[in-house]
């Protein structure tokens, strides 16, 4: 009987021989090996020494996957079920006939695109899932009408109507959903101006009170409101922002107010006030001059 050649500790490809593990029916020596991938496997001497076996099988699986020849029949990748391999190739990779489980369309993709997660649904389903449908939904003062073909990054631009002013604007779908956009730009600007205006007016009122003037705000004469009324001086004060373009409508409103003040026998003074550094001081100076001249 031949003495068994001891392979213990030797390396064959990915396999390291651990110990002898008996013989097979043909009395060939079997060796227990560990594979570099961590698996344990049993291999006969000749397979090791001839180079026929170099791994637990992981090497073949990797090569097959690389070549795209791995059998993936009936496996499911995302929404795609691999039905059968075809004779078609893409860059020498086998193209598989697949079923899109979302819409039941047949599509053709390579096994590697399935396995690496590139393809998880058919094109039509992918296009649909990229657009979150916001049609007819309202976000603040914006109502989404329809998605457009324009994109901002990967974001769909939606055609929206601003419910405040009726203008049609394009807004990022993501900005609608996260609450960043709730009105059109010009309405937003107006709102900011109004906030600035009311802050400016409050500052002027505070300054006048500090100086001891008795006053009321938003005094109504007929159908108009006046910003400030100095009770002891019968003086109406309108506090206007310099950045406001006076439209024809605003001009005629101003004229109307002037006449209304005259009708009631009050003096009307307009001061510029955007709550800028000197605005309040200039306004106070102007008010005091007017009062002096008047008294």
* Distance of alpha carbon 295 from alpha carbon 263, whole angstroms: 19
Scanning the structure block, which residue is given the tokens 């009307």? 268
Rg of the chain, C-alpha, whole Å? 42
Instruction: By CB under 5 A, tell whether 56 contacts Zn ion.
Output: yes
The correct pick among 33, 80, 109, 122 for binding Zn ion (CB under 5 A) is 122
Q: Is 58 in the site for Zn ion (CB under 5 A)?
A: yes
125 binds Zn ion, rule: CB under 5 A: yes
100 near Zn ion, judged by CB under 5 A:
yes
How far out from the chain centre does Cα 39 lie?
45
CB of 272 to Zn ion, least distance (A): 27
Contact 131, 121 (CB under 8 A): no
**Shorter beta-carbon distance to Zn ion: residue 32 or 105:** 105
Identity of the residue, 175 or 234, whose beta carbon is nearer to Zn ion in the bound complex: 175
Per DSSP, the three-state class of 223 is coil
Burial class (CB in 10 A: 0-12, 13-18, 19+), 27: exposed
Smallest gap from residue 122 Cβ to Zn ion (A): 3
- Chosen residue from 7, 43, 94, 162 binding Zn ion by CB under 5 A: 162
For Zn ion, the closer of residues 53 and 290 by Cβ is: 53
With contact defined as beta carbons under 8 Å apart, do 11 and 3 qualify?
Answer: no
Q: Is 271 in the site for Zn ion (CB under 5 A)?
A: no
Distance CA 78, CA 108 (A): 15
CB of residue 105 vs Zn ion: minimum separation in angstroms?
5
Residue 131 or 211 having the CB closest to Zn ion? 131
Does position 102 bind Zn ion by CB under 5 A?
yes
Min dist CB 78 to Zn ion, Å, is 11
With CA atoms as reference, report the closest residue to 182 among 213, 214, 144.
Answer: 144
Beta-sheet pairing, 106-110 with 93-100: antiparallel
Q: Is 111 in the site for Zn ion (CB under 5 A)?
A: no
> Which C-beta is closer to Zn ion: that of 4 or that of 63?
63
164 binds Zn ion (CB under 5 A): yes
Segment contacting Zn ion (CB under 5 A): 70-78, 88-96, 185-193, 271-279? 185-193
User: Per CB under 5 A, does 39 bind Zn ion?
Assistant: yes
What is the C-alpha separation between 216 and 23, in angstroms, rounded? 109
Structure tokens at 293: 């001249």
- Please state, in angstroms and rounded to a whole number, the distance separating the CA atoms of residues 220 and 261: 11
Region binding Zn ion by CB under 5 A among candidate stretches 19-27, 156-164, 271-279, 285-293: 156-164
Name the region of 136 (left: φ>0; alpha: ψ -120 to 50; beta: rest): left
Q: What residue ranges bind Zn ion (CB under 5 A)?
A: 35, 37, 39, 55-56, 58, 100, 102-103, 105, 122, 125, 162, 164-165, 184, 187
């Amino acid at each position: 009987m031949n003495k068994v050649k001891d392979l213990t500790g030797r390396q064959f490809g990915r396999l390291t021989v651990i110990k002898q593990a008996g013989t097979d029916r043909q009395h060939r020596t079997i060796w227990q090996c560990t594979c570099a991938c961590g698996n344990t496997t049993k291999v006969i001497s000749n397979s090791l020494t001839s180079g026929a076996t170099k791994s637990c099988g992981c090497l073949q699986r990797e090569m097959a996957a690389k070549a795209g020849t791995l059998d993936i029949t009936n496996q499911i990748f995302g929404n795609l079920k691999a039905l059968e391999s075809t004779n078609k190739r893409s860059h020498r990779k086998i193209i598989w006939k697949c079923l899109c489980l979302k819409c039941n369309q047949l599509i053709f993709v390579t096994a590697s695109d399935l396995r690496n997660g590139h393809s998880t649904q058919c094109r039509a389903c992918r296009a649909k899932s990229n657009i979150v449908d916001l049609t007819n939904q309202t976000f603040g003062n914006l109502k989404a009408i329809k998605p457009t073909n324009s994109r901002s990054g990967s974001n769909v631009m939606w055609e929206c109507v601003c419910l405040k002013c009726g203008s049609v604007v394009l807004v990022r779908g993501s900005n609608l959903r996260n609450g960043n956009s709730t009105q059109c730009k010009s309405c937003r600007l107006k709102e900011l101006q109004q906030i600035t205006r009311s802050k400016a007016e409050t500052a002027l009122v505070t300054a006048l009170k500090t100086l001891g003037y008795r006053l009321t705000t938003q005094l109504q004469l007929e159908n108009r409101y006046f910003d400030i009324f100095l009770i002891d001086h019968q003086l109406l004060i309108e506090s206007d922002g310099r950045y406001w373009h006076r439209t024809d409508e605003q001009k005629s409103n101003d004229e109307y107010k002037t006449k209304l003040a005259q009708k009631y026998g009050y003096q009307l003074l307009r001061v510029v006030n955007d709550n800028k550094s000197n605005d309040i001081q200039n306004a106070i100076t102007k008010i005091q001059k007017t009062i002096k001249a008047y008294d």
